[in-house]
Chain A
Amino acid sequence: SQTIHQWPATLVQPVGSPLSLECTVEGTSNPNLYWYRQAAGRGLQLLFYSVGIGQISSEVPQNLSASRPQDRQFILSSKKLLLSDSGFYLCAWTETSATQYFGPGTRLTVL
């Protein structure tokens, strides 16, 4: 069966520091991968999605970037965090069925 991992689970970072969040998927090949951000009490904002290695589409221009160095690995990065980057970051994957399976998420607090 398929499993999606995200780490870390929680993170507290100072403003201006770098960020790296990792997501890996097991039990599937060539999945579509997604990064979402959810502000407290709000909906899900699509940040990036990828249909293959090295292929990244950005939905919202901001100080975040994403990379897919391997088929089942998706990384979200920032060189300098802003206060507004705080939120719940969710990684998700889909196959052709289009059902999205979400990872456990990373709660990021920028102070």
Chain B
Amino acid sequence: GQQVMQIPQYQHVQEGEDFTTYCNSSTTLSNIQWYKQRPGGHPVFLIQLVKSGEVKKQKRLTFQFGEAKKNSSLHITATQTTDVGTYFCAGDNFNKFYFGSGTKLNVKP
């Protein structure tokens, strides 16, 4: 079955440092989505990437979709304490969504 793997599992950074999480799928994806879950909360949609090689930016966040549409990354520039949480990627395959295991980001002030 389809698998979506995400690394690293945890990342501890000092405020101001950059952060990157990577997502890899065992199969080609029609699109990929990224979600953020704050501690104690539910996942909240951040962005969706559809096109091969697509790059999207949201302020300090940069999202990339690989040329083969099997991998993706989320990069945060100059982290802030408000970035704390777990970041999930999710691959869409005909109405079913397969989530990566998530990367838990901790930012030290």
Contacts and interface: CB of A to CB of B under 8 A. Distances in A.
Contacts, number: 51
B92 A102 contact: no
A1 interface: no
Contacts of B98: 46
A93 to B, nearest CB: 12
A100 B90 contact: yes
A32 B42 contact: no
A50 to B, nearest CB: 9
A34 interface: yes
Contacts of A44: 43, 88, 90, 99, 102
Secondary structure type dominating chain B contacts: strand
Interface in B80-106: 88, 90, 92, 95-102, 104
A103 B48 contact: no
Contact of A90 (B42, B45, B102): B42
Interface of A: 32, 34, 36, 41-46, 49, 51, 57, 59, 90, 94, 97-105
Interface of B: 6, 31, 33, 35, 42-45, 48, 88, 90, 92, 95-102, 104
Contact of B102 (A43, A49, A57, A105): A43
Nearest to A105: B42
Contacts of A32: 95
Given A43-B102, A44-B43, A104-B42, A98 B92 contact: yes
Contacts of A97: 48
B33 A98 contact: yes
Contacts of B45: 99-101
7 contacts: A44-B102, A45-B99, A99-B33, A100-B43, A101-B45, A102-B44, A105-B42
A42 B33 CA distance: 18
A10 to B, nearest CB: 11
B95 to A, nearest CB: 6
A43 B101 CA distance: 4
